[in-house]
Amino acid sequence: MNEMTSVSQETSAKTPALPDAQTVTDVKHWTDRLFSFRMTRPASMRFRSGEFVMIGLMGEVNEKTGKAKPLLRAYSIASPSWDEELEFYSIKVQDGPLTSRLQHIKVGDEVIMRPKPVGTLVHDALLPGKRIWFFATGTGFAPFASLLREPQTYEDYDEIIITHTCREAGELTYGRELIEGLQQDELLNEVIGDGFWKKIKYYPTTTREQSPKMGRITDLMRSGEAFDELGVEPLNPESDRAMICGNLAFNLELKEMFEEYGLEEGANSKPAHYVVEKAFLD
Ligand code: A2P
């Protein structure tokens, strides 16, 4: 069964246990627009860091049929492949069909998940390189929260640059705490190597609220400011690899810039220099 047939499959609203249900184990609210949560992971579920799954809740009961069907959206898994639980990072849209309700979940609640991970933001879709760039806006940080905790990221690259552009400073907190937390993560320091996190260069920017670095990353790259401050040359196909996850306009703008740099888009079936995925918006 694929996601499309699962999504449209009608299920009786009276069924007590949700299909493919997982149990919420933790919820954190970061701002009035952002929250993250953790839930149980099916023992049989395997995925590659950077992939996404369909998750959601039971929809409203249809008055005519008396039935409800699952309301599902694509969510990047924010936890790494080795984690025994699953983590997700979500926007709250007050009139969004799913997130208007999902934002109220509590520990012990059930969330539906189709355990069929897919996606292009995976190491397999890139050719070997020296430096990897992760470009995110808003909740597009989620797949990189997974990849920054994935040992292969540090085995494959000498340098990891993560840029995150958000409207407001508070929207950077989830990412910043995660990156700072890597320094104290005893398990990762032991498994990957003491001080592995020194390979990371973090470049957070805001566009609508004052912060130490203002501006869209795209503009800061065009002006050369981002490269000067990071102490690196602009991306080139010999040494640089990149993953993009943000809103549509951001993804398209970066794709265009990368093509100018001579980078080619990769896929699972044909690894190349960069890959793109659209961040979920409800
Ligand atoms: P801006 O405030 O200038 O629109 P959103 O919440 O709308 O998805 O946006 C998240 C962040 O992405 C915002 O800081 C926004 O900047 C930025 N952004 C939106 N479009 C682009 C783009 N084409 N290139 C770079 N950054 C963008």
Q: Whose CA is nearest to atom 22 of ligand 1?
A: 250
Q: Is 93 exposed, middle or buried (0-12, 13-18, 19+ CB in 10 A)?
A: middle
**pLDDT tens per residue, range 54-109:** 999 999 888 898 888 899 999 999 999 999 999 999 999 999 999 999 999 999 99
Ramachandran angles phi, psi of 131, nearest 5°: -130, 135
Whether 40 is in the pocket of ligand 1, judged by its Cβ within 6 Å, is: no
Whether 249 is in the pocket of ligand 1, judged by its Cβ within 6 Å, is: yes
Q: Whose CA is nearest to atom 20 of ligand 1?
A: 250
Q: What is the Å distance from ligand 1's center to 136 Cα?
A: 10
Q: 4 falls in which pLDDT band (50, 70, 90)? A: very low
Give the pLDDT confidence score for residue 60 in this predicted structure. 86
What is the overall mean pLDDT for the chain? Answer: 92
CA distance 58 to 142: 24
| Unique residue bearing structure tokens 């520990």 | 107
Element (H, E) at 178: helix 173-184
Whether 220 is in the pocket of ligand 1, judged by its Cβ within 6 Å, is: no
Whether 207 is in the pocket of ligand 1, judged by its Cβ within 6 Å, is: yes
CA distance 174 to 136: 13
**In the chain, what is the straight-line distance between the N-terminal and C-terminal CA atoms, in Å?**
24
Q: 244 falls in which pLDDT band (50, 70, 90)? A: very high
Could you tell which of 93, 165, 203, 211 is best to mutate to test the pocket of ligand 1, judged by most ligand atoms within 8 Å of the CB? 165
**pLDDT tens per residue, range 194-206:** 999 999 999 999 9
Dihedral sign of CA atoms 129, 145, 117, 4 in order: negative
Q: What is the Å distance from ligand 1's center to 38 Cα?
A: 27
Whether 81 is in the pocket of ligand 1, judged by its Cβ within 6 Å, is: no
Whether 214 is in the pocket of ligand 1, judged by its Cβ within 6 Å, is: no
Whether 218 is in the pocket of ligand 1, judged by its Cβ within 6 Å, is: yes
Whether 165 is in the pocket of ligand 1, judged by its Cβ within 6 Å, is: yes
Proportion of the chain above pLDDT 70, given as a percent: 93
**pLDDT tens per residue, range 169-188:** 999 999 999 999 999 999 99
From the centroid of its chain, how far is CA 268?
Answer: 18
CA distance 282 to 163: 23
- For range 223-241, the mean pLDDT: 98
Whether 87 is in the pocket of ligand 1, judged by its Cβ within 6 Å, is: no
Report the atom number in ligand 1 closest to the C-alpha of 91.
6
Q: 6 falls in which pLDDT band (50, 70, 90)? A: very low
Q: Are 30 and 93 in contact (CB under 8 A)?
A: no
Proportion of the chain above pLDDT 90, given as a percent: 87
Assign 256 to helix, strand or coil.
helix
Whether 253 is in the pocket of ligand 1, judged by its Cβ within 6 Å, is: yes
